[in-house]
A and B are shown apart, each in its own frame.
Chain A
Amino acid sequence: MRRITRAALKPAALVAAVSSPRRGAVVSFSGVVRAVHAGRRVTAVAYDCFAPLAEKELERILRQAEKKWPVAAAAAHRVGELRVGQASLAVAAASTHRPEAFAACRWIVEQVKRRLPVWKKERYTGGEGRWLPGCALHRAGSRA
């Protein structure tokens, strides 16, 4: 399964991928393009991505989550032009009990926002657009 895709995300497929009879807690998250940001009416968001690194980094994030907690984890990020209401990020984490599943799912979302080489440009009513600010990347264990 490609984790970085231009196709519509399928959160149910991620849930199915991490589910098993031994895992009684399944937590899923979908990040969706919203209609208003900082008081401006958003019509779409264009997601740019350095795909070769993003695929590997998302895989690293998932494996790290599975080391930190006893969970099975899966995620996918959509790129390209997304309209309001369309999902850009889907994450699923499953565990025996809910604390680990909630914690892992949230941690994965936060790591994606900090580490995945993805950028978004909001487009507003009227046609103008703006790249959103973000987190500077550093090699693991280093600071620029």
Chain B
Amino acid sequence: MKRKIYLYGRLRDAGLGSSVALDLPPRATARQALAALKTALGPRGALLSGCALAGEDAVLAPSDRVPARGILAALPPVCGG
């Protein structure tokens, strides 16, 4: 399945723009999606250290299935406030 993952924080400086479209296996997990994203980032894959995948409602655990619909985002460690 083709899914677009939106990039935030330091990932916006990875040279891929604000989002990247990835081909994920059916019923892919968040761990698999982040691995595919790391491949897409190439030499800048280290930027994914500490990052999590999230949908619009919650952060996904690595073993969670990627939801079939809705926005997906790769989230670096946060520092709001």
Contact = CB atoms under 8 A, between A and B. Distances in A.
A119 B9 contact: yes
B41 interface: no
Interface residues of A, number: 35
B57 A117 contact: no
A46 to B, nearest CB: 10
Mostly, the B contact residues are loop
B73 A50 contact: yes
B62 A119 contact: no
Given A48-B8, A139-B58, A119 B81 contact: no
Contacts of B76: 119, 131, 134
A50 B8 contact: yes
Contacts of B58: 53, 56, 139-140
